[in-house]
Amino acid sequence: MIEVIDVTKRYGRHVILDKINFTVDKGEVLGFLGPNGAGKSTTMNIITGYISATEGQVKVDGIDMLEHPEKVKKKIGYLPEIPPLYPEMTVEEYLRFVCDIKKVSGPKREESLKQVMDTVRISDVKERLIRNLSKGYRQRIGIAQAIIGDPEVLILDEPTVGLDPNQIIEIRNLIKELGKRHTIILSSHILPEVSAICGRVLIINKGQIVAEGSPEELSQQFNYSSKILLRIKGDGEEAVKTIQGIENVVSVANQGVKEDNTVDILVESKKGVDIREQLFNAMSFANLPIYMMKPMNLTLEDIFAQVTTHEEVEK
């Protein structure tokens, strides 16, 4: 659905983007991550046609942005980090203004407006001035203007920034619903949010793509060992000694007591080696019942830190 081909952006001698390449499939929700100044906003602005690339191509649904900008822009809805709202307007006035800009007219206009307001749940405030609404409602209005005209692609830049936890959950659920009908690029600094919503993640740093894949694939790719957290009933010293005798175990660390009469133990083995069966047999033989066995995969925060600082995260 979206193709970014050898896109470069330079301001004088300063290179913002350096021949980046990626695609987004139809119906996919892509998490687009990177530290401040990495080139995220520049990339999204190029995809939307707000600015042009110095070199390279952007295609949406097979249509080149430079050759047919109006056709491409009709297929894209964009929510920038600061929603482009007019606070002196009522919600309905503003959305009608957006309809005019996007040339949404005819008999379907009223039906479309009602559907958009129902989708983002702002019908109850449609007659209120935008300036009098909460941050959560203003974000909803920002999403509403993006989906007017039913574009096939949505690009959402920090859609939950500044919201309280309840508002974040509401917007997150809304984005999940939108993902069933639209192709979405989501940029956010709230990484657990990206893990919960996005099927694939792309990380950019210093103008280059440094990691790409599902959160699970990235965890396997950047995890240099396998870790398992055990909760064992019995003597902690005996459990540690028993586990140290298992082949392919790299390290064993007592994590202390989290539950009465048990001990938590973190076991690290060689990468790609599954020692769960050996752990079960060894603990059973030693009469040390296992209450919990939990793989400890790298979080998206761990992976982000690794690929943007070029240093392995302290374990």
pLDDT of residue 312 exceeding 70:
no
Output the average pLDDT for the chain. Answer: 89
* pLDDT tens for each residue of 1-47: 999 999 999 999 999 999 999 999 998 999 999 888 888 889 999 99
Per-residue pLDDT of 132-156, as tens digits, reads: 999 889 999 999 999 998 899 999 9
CATH 3.40.640.10 fits 224-296, yes or no: no
| 105-135 confidence digits (pLDDT tens) | 877 788 889 989 998 889 999 999 999 999 8
pLDDT-based confidence at residue 225 (cuts at 50, 70, 90): low
Per-residue pLDDT tens over the stretch 52-81: 999 999 999 999 999 999 999 999 999 998
Mean pLDDT of the 218-234 span: 82
User: Percent of the chain at pLDDT above 90?
Assistant: 55
pLDDT at position 311 is 44
Measured CA to CA, the distance from residue 37 to residue 20 in angstroms comes to 15
Mean pLDDT of 205-218: 88
pLDDT at res. 314: 41
Looking at per-residue pLDDT, the higher value among 154 and 308 belongs to: 154
User: Could you read off the pLDDT of 167-190 as tens digits, one per residue?
Assistant: 888 888 888 888 888 999 999 888
Each domain of the chain, given as residue ranges in start order, spans 2-220, 224-296
Q: How far apart are CA 150 and CA 241, in angstroms?
A: 62
Q: What is the pLDDT of residue 154?
A: 94
pLDDT digits over 243-299, tens only? 999 998 989 999 989 889 899 999 988 877 888 899 999 999 999 999 999 887 777
3-state secondary structure the chain: CEEEEEEEEEECCEEEEEEEEEEECCCCEEEEECCCCCCHHHHHHHHHCCCCCCEEEEEECCEECCCCHHHHHCCEEEECCCCCCCCCCEHHHHHHHHHHHCCCCCCHHHHHHHHHHHHCCCHHHCCCEHHHCCHHHHHHHHHHHHHCCCCCEEEEECCCCCCCHHHHHHHHHHHHHHCCCCEEEEECCCHHHHHHHCCEEEEEECCEEEEEECHHHHHHHHCCEEEEEEEEECCHHHHHHHHHCCCCEEEEEEEECCCCCEEEEEEEEECCCCCHHHHHHHHHHCCCCEEEEEECCCCHHHHHHHHHHCCCCCC
Q: Which residue has the tokens 């030693």?
A: 286
Domain topology for 2-220: Rossmann fold (3.40.50)
The pLDDT, as a whole number, for residue 216 is 80
Q: What is the mean pLDDT of residues 199-228?
A: 85
Instruction: Say if residue 313's pLDDT is above 70.
Output: no
Gyration radius of the chain over CA positions: 25
